[in-house]
């Protein structure tokens, strides 16, 4: 047996499952059949071949005018967004001067989802504004040997821009492209000072209300948009591999479409988020659990008034109510608004919302701020009783909590000059 036959036998499989159908590479250059095939591909994908010093690849260009709407939103609306709102979307005040005229939107389609140096970006979609027109350019490699040419074109295109906009690009697309440039021994042009990753922004705003913050879920829930003839991400690599073998471009069409939709939806998403942030309480673009998220965002950006307003709304909303009570009361405490904080904690005790937390906060306040030791003692005892109950009921490990509370209680007692009896607060019989 020669090596090849042996491999067939011992590695299992071996027979070419499609027999002679396998595409013969030689047809790509030269002969008539090849030319015909290549024209067919160009036509089907509505693309054109491009030559550069590193070779040839395909490029598909689409242009969307001033009035073009994606999911009912005018793309050029992006220029109406005030700078401070962009900073809020990015949760970073450095993005105050972010200029969408100088940003390139990027989304890649790849040969695998696992990452690592053997994953290629075979289709790279980019979008940018030219005046008020949005231009969407897709770079496509018809085979692996066109990768250097694709990267070369991408590089010369993105070098004009000062920032990148992506959806999950920080973790996925941009590092993957960095690897591609490195492996092709080219400088990485995507290492820009600003990178607005909309996945983080969307997650910050919508994670409480929406079960998923993937782009299709955002489209469906925020823009009431449904994609037609779209394809799910996990099918994409195998479709591309099939194309490499049979050169039939038609199954690729949905991938090109998917990629364009991804880029366009990024623009719409920004505008939608901006709407929500510009007028959170007056429009319907913020709803329900979003107010809790909004509260967090404002708090992180030190916009306390807005944060208090958002949390206050969230106090009424199921699902985030409990969290909102905690955050808001702590925010009041941080801002020294003790009366407001106390009111919330008392409310929490009454309504049984994170009661132990509220009791401990009350005990702390009475002990250290108002020096009302009796009230402090009462709150601490109550909290201790709860801890014991929790221990008995659920067998949960409440040891540390009990230890801390005992310490606190002992201290409060001694401040009142009361003697501390042995076992005076053991078991559940302390009240």
Partner 1 sequence: MNLEQLLDSIKTNERFMQNVTHWEIIPQKPAEYEDFPLYLNEKLINVLKKKGIHRLYCHQRQALDEVKAGHNVVVVTPTASGKTLCYNLPVLNELMADKNARAIYLFPTKALSQDQVSELMNLVDAMGEDIKTFTYDGDTPVSARNAIRKDGHIVVTNPDMLHTGILPHHTKWIKLFSNLKFVIIDEVHIYRGVFGSHTANVLRRLLRICRFYGSNPIFICSSATIANPKELAEKLTGQNMILIDRNGAPSGEKNIIFYNPPVVNRQLGIRRSSILEAKNLALIFLKNSIQTITFARSRLAVELLLTYIKEELKKSPYLAETVRGYRGGYLPKERREIERGLRQGEILGVVSTNALELGIDIGNLDVSIIAGYPGSISSTWQQAGRAGRRMASSVSILVASSSPLDQFIINHPDYFFEASPENGLINPDNLYILVSHIKCAAFELPFEDGETFGEKGIDEILAFLENERILRHAGGRWHWMAESFPADDISLRSATPENFVVVDITEGARVIGEVDRFSAPMMIHEEAIYIHGSQQYQVEKLDYEEKKAYVRKVDVDYYTDANLAVEIKVLEEFKQDSEENFKKHMGEVMVTGLATMFKKIKLFTHENVGSGPIHLPPEEMHTTAFWISIPEDIEGLSKEELQSGLLGLCNVMANVAPLYLMCDPRDIRGVVQIKSPFTLKPTIYIYDNYPGGVGFSEKLYDMSRMLLKAARQVIMECSCEDGCPSCVGPYQEVGSGSKNYALKIIKHALSSREVV
Residues of span 334-373 touching partner 1 by CB under 8 A? none
Unique residue bearing structure tokens 């990267």: 151
- Between CA 425 and CA 430, with CA 428 as vertex, the angle to 5 degrees is 40
Binding to partner 1 by residue 16, rule CB under 8 A? yes
26 binds partner 1 (CB under 8 A): no
- How far is 308 from 305, CA to CA, in rounded Å? 5
CB of 268 to partner 1, least distance (A): 30
Measured from the CB of residue 5, what is the shortest distance to partner 1 in angstroms? 10
> Could you tell me the two tokens for 238?
């195998």
Q: What are phi and psi of 105, to 5 degrees?
A: -90, 135
- Burial bucket for residue 371 (CB in 10 Å: 0-12, 13-18, 19+): exposed
C-alpha angle 139-143-146 in degrees, rounded to nearest 5:
55
Q: Kindly indicate which of the ranges 97-105, 106-114, 345-353, 400-408 contains the residues binding partner 1, using the contact rule CB under 8 A.
A: 106-114
**17 vs 421, which CB is nearer to partner 1?**
17
How far apart CA 270 and CA 265 sit, in angstroms, is 9
Residues between 36 and 95 that touch partner 1 (CB under 8 A):
none
Nearer to partner 1, 176 or 376 (CB): 176
Residue 248 touches partner 1, criterion: CB under 8 A: no
Q: Return the range that interacts with partner 1 (CB under 8 A); candidates 14-22, 284-292, 347-355, 363-371.
A: 14-22
Question: How many chain residues interact with partner 1 (CB under 8 A)?
Answer: 36
The contact pattern for partner 1, residues 117-136, with x = CB under 8 A and - = no contact, is xx-x----------------
Backbone angles phi, psi at 58, to 5 degrees: -100, 155
Q: How far apart are the first and last CA of the chain?
A: 88
Q: Please spell the DSSP secondary structure of 239-291, one letter per residue.
A: HHHHHHHH---GGGHHHHHHHHHHHHHHHHHHHHHHHHHHSTTTSSSS-TTHH
Q: Among all chains, which residue has been given the structure tokens 């010093």?
A: 53
Quick one: which segment of 107-115, 154-162, 334-342, 352-360 binds partner 1 (CB under 8 A)? 107-115
- Strands (E) located in 88-147: 103-110, 121-130, 133-140
DSSP state of 169: I
Q: Are 280 and 310 in contact (CB under 8 A)?
A: yes
Binding mask 140-159 for partner 1 (x = CB under 8 A): ---xxx--------------
Residue 303 CB, nearest approach to partner 1 (Å):
30
Beta carbon of residue 289, minimum distance to partner 1 (angstroms, whole number): 29
Residue 178 found at the interface with partner 1 (CB under 8 A): yes
Instruction: Give the one residue of 179, 247, 289, 342 binding partner 1; rule: CB under 8 A.
Output: 179
Q: Which two tokens stand for residue 429?
A: 């019989």
Among 50, 157, 183, 402, binds partner 1 (CB under 8 A): 183
- Candidate list 67, 114, 211, 431; residue touching partner 1; CB under 8 A: 114
Contact 155, 126 (CB under 8 A): no
Cα distances from 153 to residues 52, 59, 125, 380, in angstroms, run: 7, 9, 12, 68
Q: Give the nearest distance from C-beta 3 to partner 1 in angstroms.
A: 5
Contact call for residue 20 and partner 1 (CB under 8 A): no
Q: What is the Cα–Cα distance from 188 to 173, expressed in whole angstroms?
A: 13
| Span interacting with partner 1, options 9-17, 74-82, 216-224, 284-292, rule CB under 8 A | 9-17
Which of these segments, 84-92, 99-107, 239-247, 253-261, binds partner 1 (CB under 8 A)?
239-247
3 touches partner 1 (CB under 8 A): yes
Q: Which among 110-118, 265-273, 364-372, 420-428 is the span making contact with partner 1, rule CB under 8 A?
A: 110-118
List the structure tokens of 265.
């939806």
Which residues are near partner 1 by CB under 8 A? 1-4, 6-11, 13-14, 16-17, 25, 111-118, 120, 143-145, 178-179, 182-183, 237-238, 241, 244-245
């Amino acid at each position: 047996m020669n090596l090849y036959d042996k491999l067939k036998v011992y590695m299992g499989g071996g027979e070419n499952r499609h027999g002679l159908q396998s595409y013969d590479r030689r047809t790509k250059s030269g002969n008539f059949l090849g030319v015909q095939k290549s024209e067919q591909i160009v036509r089907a994908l509505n693309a054109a071949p491009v030559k550069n010093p590193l070779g040839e690849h395909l490029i598909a260009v689409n242009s969307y005018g001033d009035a073009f709407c994606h999911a009912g939103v005018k793309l050029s609306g992006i220029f109406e967004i005030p700078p401070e709102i962009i900073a809020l979307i990015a949760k970073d005040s450095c993005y105050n001067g972010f200029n969408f005229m100088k940003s390139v939107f990027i989304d890649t389609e790849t040969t695998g989802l696992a990452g690592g140096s053997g994953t290629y970006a075979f289709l790279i979609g980019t979008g940018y504004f030219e005046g008020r027109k949005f231009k969407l350019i897709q770079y496509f490699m018809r085979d692996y040997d066109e990768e250097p040419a694709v990267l070369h074109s991408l590089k010369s295109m993105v070098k004009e821009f000062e920032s990148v906009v992506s959806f999950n690009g920080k973790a996925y697309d941009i590092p993957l492209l960095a690897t591609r440039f490195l492996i092709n021994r080219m400088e990485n042009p995507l290492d820009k000072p600003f990178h607005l990753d909309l996945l983080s922004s969307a997650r910050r705003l919508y994670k409480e209300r929406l079960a998923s913050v993937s782009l299709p879920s955002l489209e469906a829930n925020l823009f009431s948009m449904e994609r037609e003839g779209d394809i799910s991400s996990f099918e994409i690599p195998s479709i591309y591999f099939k194309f490499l073998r049979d050169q039939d471009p038609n199954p690729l069409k949905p991938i090109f479409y998917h990629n364009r939709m991804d880029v366009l939806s990024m623009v719409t998403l920004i505008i939608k988020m901006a709407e929500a942030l510009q007028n959170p309480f007056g429009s319907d673009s913020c709803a329900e659990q979003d107010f809790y998220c909004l509260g967090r965002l404002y708090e992180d950006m030190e916009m306390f008034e807005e944060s208090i307003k958002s949390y206050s709304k969230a106090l009424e909303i199921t699902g985030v109510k409990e969290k909102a009570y905690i955050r808001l009361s702590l925010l009041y405490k941080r801002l020294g608004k003790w009366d407001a904080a106390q009111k919330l904690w008392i409310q929490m005790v009454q309504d049984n919302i994170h009661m132990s937390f509220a009791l401990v906060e009350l005990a702390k306040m009475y002990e250290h701020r108002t020096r009302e030791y009796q009230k402090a003692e009462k709150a601490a005892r109550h909290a201790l009783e709860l801890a014991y109950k929790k221990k008995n009921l659920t067998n949960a490990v409440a040891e540390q909590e009990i230890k801390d509370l005992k310490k606190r209680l002992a201290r409060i007692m001694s401040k009142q000059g009361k003697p501390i009896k042995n076992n005076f607060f053991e078991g559940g019989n302390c009240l």
